[in-house]
Amino acid sequence: MVKGKNSIEVVNLEKPFLKSPRVCLSQMVTLNGTKLVNFPQPNLRPFCQEELVKILRVGFCLNCHSEKDKIFKKWPPKRVCPYAKELKSNF
Amino acid sequence: MPTLKRLAKTKSFWILLGLVILLCLFYSEAKKDRREVAKLTSGEVELCITCHQEVVPEKVHDKKVVGCSSCHLGNPYTLDLKEAHKNIVKNPGDLRYVNLTCGQPGCHPTEISKVKNSLMATNHGMIKRVVEVFEEKEVLSLYPKLSVSQLYQSEVYHKTRNSLGLDYYRKLCGSCHLWLEKGKLPYFLKEKGGGCTACHLVKEEDEGLNSSRKTHPKLVRYPPMENCVRCHNRSGRIGFTYQGLYENEQGGVGDEVWVDGRWLDRVSPDIHFQKGLNCVDCHTKEEVMGDGNFYYSLHEALEIECQTCHGGDGTTKKGRKLKNFQKKGTKAYLEIKGSKKLLLIKKPVRVCSLSYHKRLTCVSCHAKHMPDCYGCHIKYDPRETHLDKILAKETKGLWIEHESYRRLALPTLAVEDNQRVVTVTPG
């Protein structure tokens, strides 16, 4: 495990093969949305920064709420978790 | 003379004469060669079956119906060994002469023209990708629809002989296509290729050494999974993952060994495999054998989706109806093509249609695992030789594949067309 940017822990299986601990061999995109790999199909892309923020923000909720918690089903799409505001500013 | 005249007037003389003539006729008939001329049920003469006693296992290609020469060519009108076997072909499915055999009028002519344009025969997607990775745009500008059958032509070979991308394809990928001559390559590769027979031929179980009955290889309408996996076991390893096999990089106690020496671990298989579904139960004839169009990649050719059956009415995204999809009341069933067994198709649950899941494809949640290999790199040694699968001989330049590590994990996700979240894997 290495401490990544924004204090998000990244499992780094590739450590012995890499010079930089910030990039993994399996990584397709950086946290700021920069694409690291080419796809064979032109219509494919990795998640963009906005999508990554949304996905990772759920991880913030999972510290307290189980993944089957009702709040995930009822959550209005545009509502921002008050606890995640600080995390959002980091991105 | 007067006595003869007298005799001719008597009845007994004529009876005796008649008996003598009858006796002579009987004798000459009995001396004749009584062997019947070998004919088919249609009445056509087929002398091959006079000598060849092999039993054809499937009824549709019964020897009495199609004979031998319809498929294997040769001359069916002679019993002379040399003359009868002139221009004979061992594998009628070979695409080089399939128009005279499987594809002749009255048999499967439409299928043959489609198959020749299918990706399994052209390999265009693979060739294009490899050439693009090697940044050899001039090859594709010279041959925009470059297919594997062209690589067999000496003109194309000479014009592209400096292409490293094509050299890589010929040596590492060139054994998985329908134009490959069956049995031409050594080791496990001899089982690959052969046109129609690459998929539709199955080996009959040996009846034992004591059996004098010679069996003809069996041709099946629906290819078994083993035939598909013979080729579809690299890159995304779909043939392995589907049946619950994971290619381990170093192997261990209890691991299975694939024909080419790779180690395989048993992991949990796909639910469709557990239910007894074969590859061809979902993948349509048009997807696999081609629909006549020339496709540039596999994704263009594929037409089934999970929702074709799960929540759908059995219609693919190209508007074709699955022949083995059945609806009875509110329930939908899929028939297993081989055993004719009906399987109840589950409908998507409520959570699948929730608004925040609308971008997710089924596999992005339901795929249990996917093999990923990372840090793949290749080394080229121009001093050594490597088997060119197209030329079927060793040529200069050895390709060596390396990888950093492999893992079996939840699939990596990516976005397709800015709309759908799909699974991706390196390879």
Asked if B416 and A26 come within 8 Å (Cβ–Cβ), the reply is no
pLDDT at A5: 47
Q: Is the pLDDT of residue B337 over 70?
A: yes
Q: Are residues B196 and B296 in the same domain?
A: no
pLDDT band at A89 (very low <50, low <70, confident <90, very high): very low
What is residue A2's predicted lDDT score, i.e. its pLDDT? 40
Q: What is the pLDDT of residue B35?
A: 59
B199-206 long-range contacts, CB within 8 A, separation 24+: B199/B223, B199/B227, B199/B228, B199/B288, B200/B93, B200/B227, B201/B93, B201/B227, B202/B227, B204/B57
Number of structural domains (chain B) is 3
* SS3 assignment, position B224: coil
Task: Inspect the interface and report whether the beta carbons of B416 and A73 lie closer than 8 Å.
Answer: no
CB-based contacts of B343, cutoff 8 Å, min separation 6: B275, B276, B277, B333, B334, B335, B336
The residue extents of the domains of chain A are 47-91
**B391 & B323 share domain:** no
Comparing B90-104, B111-125, B155-169, B366-380, the range with the smallest average pLDDT is B366-380
Range of the domain at B221: 114-204+215-272+384-404
Question: B31-35, B291-295, B386-390 — which is least confidently predicted?
Answer: B31-35
Q: Using one digit for the tens of pLDDT, what is the confidence trace for B178-188? A: 999 999 999 99
Evaluate whether B65 touches B45 at the Cβ level (below 8 Å): no
Nearest to A40 among B129, B355, B418 (CB): B129
Question: What is the pLDDT, as a whole number, of residue A84?
Answer: 63
Residue B407 DSSP SS3: strand
Distance CA A65, CA B140 (A): 54
- State whether A46 and B407 contact (CB < 8 Å): no
Q: Are residues B149 and B118 in the same domain?
A: yes
Question: Do B137 and B196 belong together in one domain?
Answer: yes
Give residue for tokens 């920069």. A34
Q: Tell me how close the Cα of A46 comes to any Cα of chain B, in angstroms.
A: 5
B282 pLDDT tier (thresholds 50, 70, 90): very high
Among B355, B356, B404, beta carbon nearest to A17 = B404
Residue B339 corresponds to which tokens in the numbers above?
């055993």
Residues B304 and B341 in one domain: yes
Arithmetic mean of pLDDT over chain B: 91
* Per-residue pLDDT at B154: 94
Domain assignment present for residue B39? The answer is no
Answer yes or no: do B424 and A44 touch at CB < 8 A: yes
pLDDT, position B189: 95
The predicted-structure confidence for A48-79, as pLDDT tens digits, reads as follows: 999 998 888 888 788 889 988 888 878 887 77
Quick check: B405 and A73 CB within 8 A?
no
Q: A 44-83 residues with CB below 8 A of B?
A: 44-48, 51, 73, 75, 77
Q: Using 50, 70 and 90 to split pLDDT, how confident is the model at A17?
A: low
Phi/psi region, residue B195 (left: phi>0; alpha: psi -120 to 50; beta: rest), is left
- Pick A13's closest partner by Cβ from B407, B412, B414: B407
CB contact under 8 A, A26 and B374: yes
Tokens for B38, please give them. Answer: 């070998």
B56 & B158 share domain: no
pLDDT value at residue B143: 96
Give the mean model confidence (pLDDT) for residues B398-414.
Answer: 89
